[in-house]
């Protein structure tokens, strides 16, 4: 039984999953706190989300490149891929947040809603498309 468990773990669990979760949770918290602070001051979803996402994703990119996925791709190649991924998800999350706020959902809750879509897909995208190792 122990060997079956070990085999399943080795087949389906990659240590980068744990590192991805740590980086993701940390940068999500940074993003959330900056967004809430800026939104309470500016009342602009797009401004607040742009600034909070820019700070958090800069930290996220460098942490994932060096620590999570230990990428050997140069920064230009992975950076372009990461930027395309970032822009896509920023537009999606901003649109969802704006729609929810228009429906009278509190901004503090609306900011978290896009995570339900982004998180399940993001590990795959980052691991297999953005930081894919050269072979």
For the stretch 13-30, pLDDT in tens is 778 889 999 999 999 999
Query: What does the H/E/C string look like for 3-31?
Result: HHHHHHHHHHCCHHHHHHHHHHHHHHHHH
Tokens encoding 85: 């991924």
Q: How many CB atoms lie within 10 A of CB 115?
A: 16
For the stretch 41-90, pLDDT in tens is 999 988 998 999 889 989 999 999 999 998 888 889 899 999 999 889 88
Provide the b/e sequence for 46-77 (b: ≥16 CB within 10 Å).
Answer: eebbebbbebbbeebbebbbeebbebebeeee
For the stretch 116-135, pLDDT in tens is 988 888 888 998 889 877 65
Residues 6+ apart with CB under 8 A from 81: 129, 130, 131
Q: What is the pLDDT of residue 12?
A: 63
Least Cα distance to 67 among 102, 9, 1, 17 occurs for 17
How does the average pLDDT of the chain come out, rounded?
88
Residues 6+ apart with CB under 8 A from 62: none
Helical pair 45-63 and 15-42, crossing angle rounded to 10 deg: 160
């Amino acid at each position: 039984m122990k060997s079956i468990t070990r085999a399943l773990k080795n087949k389906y669990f990659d240590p980068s999953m744990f590192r991805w979760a740590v980086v993701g949770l940390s940068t999500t918290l940074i993003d959330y706190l900056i967004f809430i602070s800026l939104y309470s001051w500016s009342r602009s979803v797009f401004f607040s989300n742009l600034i909070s996402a820019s700070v958090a994703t800069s930290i996220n990119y460098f942490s994932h490149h060096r620590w999570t996925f230990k990428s050997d791709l140069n920064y230009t190649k992975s950076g372009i891929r990461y930027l395309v991924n970032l822009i896509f998800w920023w537009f999606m999350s901003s649109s969802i947040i704006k729609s929810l706020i228009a429906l009278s959902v509190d901004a503090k809750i609306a900011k978290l809603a896009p995570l339900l879509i982004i998180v399940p897909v993001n590990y795959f995208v980052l691991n297999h498309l953005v930081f894919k190792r050269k072979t």
